[in-house]
Amino acid sequence: MSEKIFTATPRKRQDARKKGQVLRSQEIVSALMLLAFVLLLKIWASPMVVKMSQLMTYTYGLSADWTIKSIASLMLNVLFIGVQVAAPFFAVGVAVATAANYFQVKGLFTIEPLKPQLSRISPMKGAKRMFGVRAWVELGKSLFKVSIIGYFLYACIRDNMEVFPALQQIDVRQGAILLGSALQTMAWKIALAFLIIAVIDYLYQWWDYEKNLRMSHQDLKDEYKQTEGNPQLKAEIKKKQRALSMRRMMQDVAKADVVITNPTHFAVALRYALTEKDAPYVLAKGRDEVALRIKEKAKEYDIVIVENKPLARVLYSKVEIGQKVPADLYKAVAEVLAFVYRLKKKRRMA
């Protein structure tokens, strides 16, 4: 099996894209979403706390009078405030995920990856996916991300060891601000670290994508055959086309008024009919074996054969089948046709 060492051609890339094989890193999507959530939390934290405090105040006001009606009202308020709190995160998540995927795949939409494939239920293929290089890379990324989260959590606790004991001496609002600030700093560090991982993962995905698209010498030959056509098939088609054209040309000899020869190498069949063209035109022409066949057909259909070496050579080289005789040859052709008409007249009178 030939080694795949050639860079993928544009057609190979296009075919792979149609099948849903595109350069894409899920880590880019995850990192951007995490950054967006951290930024949104910084902006939305205060309004979110206000809404949550309003809910707590409302709940505390109902604590002395629990009825079915008050509980239903509480549930509706919880649902309403929950939607208000979660809606910005949901909207930002959908927007960032959509944009990140769109710019990676460039607006590709295909159902090809959803089609059932036998390779997906193959035990051998499954084992290869589970223990292949990509699986180990994904495992390594997951462990590395867990390690990063653990490290920054440890660093957050370490850097705030003097602050945490003091929380019991301040009110809830100040304590929430201190904890929120520490957690937000940790979240920013984690998000930036995940973004660095995403960039590295994108480079790896690019390398793996290009590696999987590489082509062997046989792949290039097969693609060339598909693009340009199989040379043997094309030659066979041309051969059949020539044979068909030759057969049609030989049939047209029956309509000729005269066949001009040189006498062995060239033969040109001419026809002159004012209802068709305003000048004599070439019905058939050929050299050597084809010229011999034209003359045989002329004899078969009782077409006059005239030997005129210079005229036969010029007509063969200058005039294509179906074209009219050029003006500079009118005189020579007219003389031949005049001779033919006189000869036909004598035959009719004889």
Q: How confident is the model at residue 50 (pLDDT cuts 50, 70, 90)?
A: confident
- Name the average pLDDT for the chain: 81
- The Cα 232–Cα 341 span in angstroms is 48
Res 52 pLDDT > 60: yes
Q: How confident is the model at residue 219 (pLDDT cuts 50, 70, 90)?
A: confident
Residue with tokens 């201190």: 178
pLDDT tens-digit series, residues 130-174: 667 777 888 888 898 899 889 888 888 888 777 777 767 777 667
- Could you tell me if 324 and 281 are in contact, meaning their C-beta atoms sit under 8 angstroms apart? yes
> SS3 for 47?
helix
Beta bridge partners of 307: 261
| Mode of pairing for the β-strands spanning 258-261 and 281-287 | unpaired
pLDDT at 94: 92
- Could you tell me if 190 and 146 are in contact, meaning their C-beta atoms sit under 8 angstroms apart? no
- The Cα 246–Cα 233 span in angstroms is 20
pLDDT at 96: 92
pLDDT at 122: 61
pLDDT tens-digit series, residues 185-210: 888 999 999 999 999 989 988 998 88
User: Closest Cα to residue 167, out of 159, 157, 176?
Assistant: 176
- Could you tell me if 282 and 234 are in contact, meaning their C-beta atoms sit under 8 angstroms apart? no
- The Cα 32–Cα 40 span in angstroms is 12
pLDDT at 343: 84
Cβ neighbours of 266 (radius 10 Å): 23
* Stated pTM of the model: 0.54
pLDDT at 42: 84
pLDDT at 32: 92
- The Cα 186–Cα 180 span in angstroms is 10
Res 249 pLDDT > 70: yes
Sketch out the chain's domains with CATH numbers.
Answer: 10-226 (no CATH), 234-349 (3.40.1690.10)
